[in-house]
Amino acid sequence: MKLKEKINEILKSLKKLYPDAHCALNFKNPHELLIATILSAQCTDERVNMVTEKLFKKYKTIKDFANTDLLEFEKDIYSTGFYRNKAKNIIGAAKIIDKKYNGKVPKDFDQLLELPGVARKTANCVMGNAFNIATGVVVDTHVIRITEKLGLTKNKDPKKIEEDLIKLLPKEEWINFSHMIIWHGRKICIARRPKCEICKLNRICPSVAI
DNA sequence: CTCCCGATAT
DNA sequence: ATATCAGGAG
């Protein structure tokens, strides 16, 4: 099967399986999504949502994040792991957004990339889910694992994987594709023990193990 | 490449 | 005990 036919089959199946796939991180505005996404590195979205529920009641504006005490903030986000890096990055990003962008998260991929703790995955996530602008494909741990298993890429580097996916996917699918893959990665194609026997993609997956 | 790092499932 | 979770920086 040609790769283009394959991606269309995968898209069709995923849409049927996960018709309401969406960003699982809870947020009410762009800066909340930015912070939740930084916190989500190597941490479940469920845990991030537990932390941000309290966090976003304590810190309302970008200024609140920019002016908080580092050690206090580390405690506020402690259970998400990597808390020292994440605290430094979130406060650093908030200071830049406050000073340079007048407290509003820039609606610009390259400007997002300049913020500490923000690389392509986070910038694509914010552009897509906060602003509904498709700047690329979010390549996270699930997307890396599952697109490789499905034979959609042979690359290991997230940026190259993203380039491969951009070529394969219609632009209007860029944002939703990651949501559906992540849903699939959490429910079926689980890293430790993939449930290939009940996976709807098992007929077209080269890595199926039954 | 290594380091950052707590919580959870297996 | 160990792998894994919506990664990024040095």
Are A177 and A139 a contacting pair, CB within 8 Å?
Answer: no
Nearest nt to the CA of A84 via C1' is: B4
Catalytic residue among A140, A149, A159, A195: A140
Against a cut of 0.85, is the pTM above it?
A: yes
Are A42 and A10 a contacting pair, CB within 8 Å?
Answer: no
What is the tens place of the pLDDT at every residue in A92-106? 999 999 999 999 999
Positive or negative: CA dihedral A175, A158, A96, A42? positive
Are A161 and A154 a contacting pair, CB within 8 Å?
Answer: no
Question: How long is the CA A78 to C1' B4 vector, in angstroms?
Answer: 13
Distance CA A37, CA A24 (A): 10
pLDDT at residue A191, rounded to an integer: 97
CA nearest to A179, candidates A11, A31, A30, A43: A11
The percent of residues in chain A predicted with pLDDT above 90, rounded, is 97
Q: How far is CA A51 from CA A56, A91, A140, A163, in A?
A: 9, 16, 21, 33
Sequential DSSP letters for A38-72 = HHTTTS-HHHHHHHHHHHHHH--SHHHHHTS-HHH
Q: How far is CA A50 from the centre of its chain?
A: 17
Catalytic residue among A76, A86, A121, A164: A121
CA nearest to A143, candidates A123, A126, A164: A164
The residue among A134 and A4 whose pLDDT is bigger is A134
Sequential DSSP letters for A73-135 = HHHHHGGGS-HHHHHHHHHHHHHHHHHHSTTS--S-HHHHHTSTT--HHHHHHHHHHHS----
pLDDT at residue A78, rounded to an integer: 98
Asked if A69 is an active-site residue, the reply is no
pLDDT range class, residue A60, cuts 50, 70, 90: very high
Q: Is the pLDDT score of A1 beyond 80?
A: no
pLDDT at residue A71, rounded to an integer: 98
**Stretch A111-128: mean pLDDT, rounded?**
98
- Read off φ and ψ for residue A166, nearest 5 degrees: -60, -40
> Which residue is nearest nucleotide B7, judged by alpha carbon to C1' distance?
A79
pLDDT range class, residue A209, cuts 50, 70, 90: confident
